[in-house]
Structure 1
Amino acid sequence: MSNSISINDRTEAPFIGLGGLEEIQNQFNAVSEKYDKQRRFLIPCFDDFYGTALALSENVPAVKSILDVRAGTGLMSAFFHEKYPEAKITLVDISKEMLKKAEERFEGNENISFLNADFSTVDLPENHYDLVVSGLAIHHLPNELKQQLFGKITKTLKPGGWFINADQVLGETEVAEKIFTENWKNHVEQNPNLTGEEKQSAFERIKVDIMAPLKPQLEWLENAGLQNANCYYQYYNFVVFAANK
């Protein structure tokens, strides 16, 4: 089948340099217009996936400030804005076109601000945010940069704040990864709401993924200075994990 990909296509690349970051930016710039619509069809567990992230935020007594890491078109921020309409939310993303869509989504809202920057290297204020959230973003980073970002997130969270990451992970074994990959690929190929071009575009985008298994990422959060790192939801390779400061 022309839309199919090999399992190795999404796991071979060990490092993203400047060219790789540009490729990620180009891939998401190209789909910014239709990204939100596609996301519901590309994520088999859409409602539970985002719903769990929202529910976990209730562990923070008062949410007044939120940082959305690799915010894209602002989908994750939209959910959190609906739940916490008075909170100030900062969206950071490397893709200008995606962030432009986010600006259109929140046009006129003074509580929402935007930062076009590389989320893995951007400077963040210390002890500033009640929540740091991310949706389907951090798996694009090499593992070293994932760990550096977790350190930055630890510093930018207020004491008692939470980091909530809704993302994709690599299978702990080759068998698990094969099952994860085939399940998602079959879901996309059989989805009648996606065109052939949209399916192929999704298969192309995952070639720049650098997913890591769940267990080491929980360890990296603890090593970065966060605590109670745990996975609260998993559907094949779609997970929601979190930790607090």
Structure 2
Amino acid sequence: METLQEIQNQFNAVSEKYDRQRRFLIPCFDDFYGTALTLSEEVKSVKNILDVGAGTGLMSAFFHEKYPDAKITLIDISTAMLKKAEERFEGNENISFLNADFATVDLSENQYDLVVSGLAIHHLPNELKQQLFGKIAKTLKPGGWFINADQILGETELAEKIYTKNWKNHVEQNPNLTDEEKRSAFERIKVDIMAPLKPQLEWLENAGLQNANCYYQYYNFVVFAANK
């Protein structure tokens, strides 16, 4: 799939600076990741975590700090991004890595207490989003949660216009980003395939999960979740 290769190339190219950039590219960085972490407390015992589209391991790092004894598996299609994640967690026997397309990878049933994802699933076509939600539902243990911190499409043309304008203004005015980093960020969003929030919550319910709900939103940045 040409788009898939394009996504891989885009993120391989920025792997060195991605973590530093992310704090400046996300206007609501602390609340965005903080909400995902707090939601995980709904799981009674977190022993096994799957990070879908893990990139350099930024989200996994937050969850590792919160659950230092948990085993975490990171899946990502970008070899360069995953290499950075391996360097981040070097020597940690609780952390494992899988270089694969998370949209099509086989996942064992009833394996994880927690499945998390940060800014990854919006790169998938909608059919593959639904397919992935089904796999996540099966790989979660009973009582487990799926928490997705991601970007969404506006429910209306006006909402989408406002979302896009707000984010672009934030990036353009950020003094911590170089002109090249800004251009690169604007280039990467061209391969985004965002979906509105409402259908994604419905897809989670259709996949067999329950209580699908949005717990945080700042323009098009959202944290939504469901449990098994």
Q: Taking structure 1 as the reference length, what is the TM-score of the superposition?
A: 0.92
The SS at the match of 2:211 is strand
Unpaired stretches in structure 1, ≥5 consecutive residues: 1-20
- Deviations 1:11-61 (Å, cap 9, x if unpaired)? xxxxxxxxxx00000000000000000000000000000000000000001
Provide the rounded CA distance (Å) in 1 between the counterparts of 2:119 and 2:203.
18
Provide the rounded CA distance (Å) in 2 between the counterparts of 1:243 and 1:73.
25
Counterpart check, 1:126 vs 2:104: no
Shift of 1:79: 0.1
Shift of 1:139: 0.2
The SS at the match of 1:132 is strand
Shift of 1:98: 0.1
- Deviations 1:198-223 (Å, cap 9, x if unpaired)? 00000000000000000000000000
Q: Which residue matches 2:140?
A: 157
Provide the rounded CA distance (Å) in 2 between the counterparts of 1:125 and 1:34.
33
What is the aligned-residue identity percentage?
A: 90
Q: Taking structure 2 as the reference length, what is the TM-score of the superposition?
A: 0.99
Shift of 1:114: 0.0
Provide the rounded CA distance (Å) in 2 between the counterparts of 1:180 and 1:226.
28
The SS at the match of 1:164 is strand
Q: Which residue matches 2:210?
A: 227
Q: How does 1:76-225 map to 2 (within 5 A)?
A: 76-225=59-208
- Divergent runs of 4+, >2 A: none
- Deviations 1:105-134 (Å, cap 9, x if unpaired)? 000000000000000000011000000000
Provide the rounded CA distance (Å) in 2 between the counterparts of 1:148 and 1:204.
27
Provide the rounded CA distance (Å) in 1 between the counterparts of 2:129 and 2:43.
24
The SS at the match of 2:72 is strand
The SS at the match of 2:34 is helix
What is the RMSD computed on CA atoms of the aligned residues?
Answer: 0.2
- Deviations 1:160-205 (Å, cap 9, x if unpaired)? 0000000000000000000000000000000000000000000000
Provide the rounded CA distance (Å) in 1 between the counterparts of 2:83 and 2:188.
20
Shift of 1:77: 0.1
Unpaired stretches in structure 2, ≥5 consecutive residues: none
